[in-house]
Amino acid sequence: MGLLSKLVTRTRDKPQNRTSGSSYSFLFGGSTSGKAVNERSSMQMTAVYACVRILAEAIAGLPLHLYRHDDDSSKHKAKDHPLYTLLHSEPNAEMTSFVFRETLMTHLLLWGNAYAQIIRNGKGQVAALYPLMPNRMQVDRDKHGKLYYQYTTSAEDAPTMQGNSVVLDASEVLHIPGLGFDGLVGYSPIAMAKNAIGMAIACEEYGAKFFANGAAPSGVLEHPGTVKDPSRLRDTWQGQFGGSSNSHKVAVLEEGMKYTPISISPEQAQFLQTRKFQINEIARIFRVPPHMVGDLEKSSFSNIEQQSLEFVKYTLDPWVIRWEQALSRALLASDEKQTHFFRFNVEGLLRGDYQSRMGGYATARQNGWMSANDIRTLEDMDQIADEDGGNLYLINGNMLPLSRAGAFADKVTNTSQEESNEEQEVLAMEKPERRRRQSENP
């Protein structure tokens, strides 16, 4: 990995203090339910795994392009820039762009921060980006107040670097922080909501043990006399009828034994509703619509499309903006920030049904603010050549600018005036002739 290029650990002046965000943190660990909650145990919850996967795959699947502003205020893809291929296709020799962004987004959702080491060539250009584990990164300030990142390596990075500490400048780290107090270090959503997730883990464990230990039939064995070895009898019964795989077996009782079934208490019967509420609670943490994690109770054909659009607008957009601005801040040179910018294309997710799209395109085309090629671009279709009118902007012929209101009436008035002038000329030419006739015929 890129850390191999920093085998010699650089030393820093003794830190004056840590960043305010990293000095106070929400810790993983025990919850009020008694269950330990961390990034690994929480991912074993189906709701957490579903939410993280949905958001990580959504960000990773969006097309990411580097654009350049031209002198005519238009924008074009900067395909000739080295960063374009790096972010769009292959950030390093080991990963595709999809896997790289999916990994960083997973870190961001679980730990609240995403880090990647920036490898530069001799010209100072970005040559590669390698993800770094957030749980082994520490953000500090030196005595001059300058930020630096201290990363502890392990055998997962390289067998020869286990336990070494690598110090990186702020210019060598792509850092995407989540929600935090100081704007520098984000807080883990898992750690902040560990009690809700811990309760969901407890409910899941309770349900698993309920079916694992429950016997069918379930109840109390009564013996008219004294049982010599009750433990052996209980173990034998449990081995034959315990667990979901032995449910509904026929039990044969001897020596006057009697089986008394015990009904499930209302508290036990309500645990399914409790588990369902915890799924909605976890979806609320990540702001994911319940229908995307399998809860279709309040979804219908009339509102599920609107919920999907709201997911893009209120859930994905804030993450997209974090990514775009962090990439521009860390990867673009100072002079390039005035002319270049990163942009995720979310148009494909915002498109409605076919009829709505065609109606919108027709309105845009008839009012002159979209050309045929603009529409075909949004629909991922080939462009029409300029000589065939692909880039023409058209409007209806009966529409005029406001400044020319009444032009039709002016045309009519001018025409009438011209006709009146012609009549006057004809009358002026005929007047001498009428006078001659009158003189000859008094």
What's the pLDDT band for 442 if we cut at 50, 70, 90?
low
Q: What is the DSSP string of 15-32?
A: PSEE-HHHHS-PPPEE-T
What's the pLDDT band for 379 if we cut at 50, 70, 90?
confident
Determine the pLDDT at residue 128: 95
Q: CA-CA distance, 88 to 98, in Å (whole number)?
A: 9
Range name among 166-170, 265-269, 337-341, 368-372 with the lowest pLDDT average: 265-269
Determine the pLDDT at residue 90: 93
Do residues 152 and 159 touch, judged by C-beta distance below 8 A? Answer: no
Q: CA-CA distance, 348 to 359, in Å (whole number)?
A: 17
CB count, 10 Å around CB of 187?
Answer: 20
Residues 6+ apart with CB under 8 A from 185: 19, 21, 22, 112, 113, 139, 177
Strand 17-18 to 340-344 pairing = unpaired
Range name among 15-19, 152-156, 309-313, 369-373 with the lowest pLDDT average: 15-19
Determine the pLDDT at residue 94: 92
Q: CA-CA distance, 295 to 292, in Å (whole number)?
A: 7
- How much is the average pLDDT of 87-102? 94
Higher pLDDT, 316 or 248: 316
pLDDT reading at 168 higher than 70? yes
Strand 126-132 to 137-141 pairing = unpaired
User: In degrees rounded to 5, what are phi and psi of residue 221?
Assistant: -90, 125
pLDDT reading at 29 higher than 80? no
> Domain-by-domain residue ranges, the chain?
1-214+265-350, 219-261, 402-440
Higher pLDDT, 417 or 363: 363
pLDDT reading at 266 higher than 60? no
pLDDT reading at 23 higher than 60? no
Task: Give whichever of 12-21, 119-128, 155-164, 230-239 has the largest mean pLDDT.
Answer: 119-128
What's the pLDDT band for 17 if we cut at 50, 70, 90?
very low
Determine the pLDDT at residue 31: 72
Q: CA-CA distance, 233 to 221, in Å (whole number)?
A: 10
Helix axes 46-61, 317-331, angle to 10 degrees: 50
Q: Exposure of 195 by Cβ count < 10 A (0-12 exposed, 13-18 middle, 19+ buried)? A: middle
What is the tens place of the pLDDT at every residue in 185-237?
Answer: 998 888 888 888 888 888 777 777 766 665 444 567 676 777 777 777 777 77
What's the pLDDT band for 87 if we cut at 50, 70, 90?
very high
Q: Average model confidence (pLDDT) for the chain? A: 78
What is the tens place of the pLDDT at every residue in 385-440?
Answer: 888 888 888 877 666 665 665 655 565 455 555 556 666 665 566 656 666 666 66
Closest CA to 215 of 266, 265, 264: 264
Query: How far is the CA of 15 from the CAs of 112, 139, 151, 168, 170, in angstroms?
Result: 23, 10, 15, 14, 15
Determine the pLDDT at residue 418: 57
Percent of the chain with pLDDT over 90: 26
- How much is the average pLDDT of 100-112? 95
Residue 302 structure tokens: 């009339």
What is the tens place of the pLDDT at every residue in 298-322?
Answer: 666 667 777 778 888 899 999 999 9
Higher pLDDT, 402 or 350: 350
Q: CA-CA distance, 273 to 26, in Å (whole number)?
A: 29
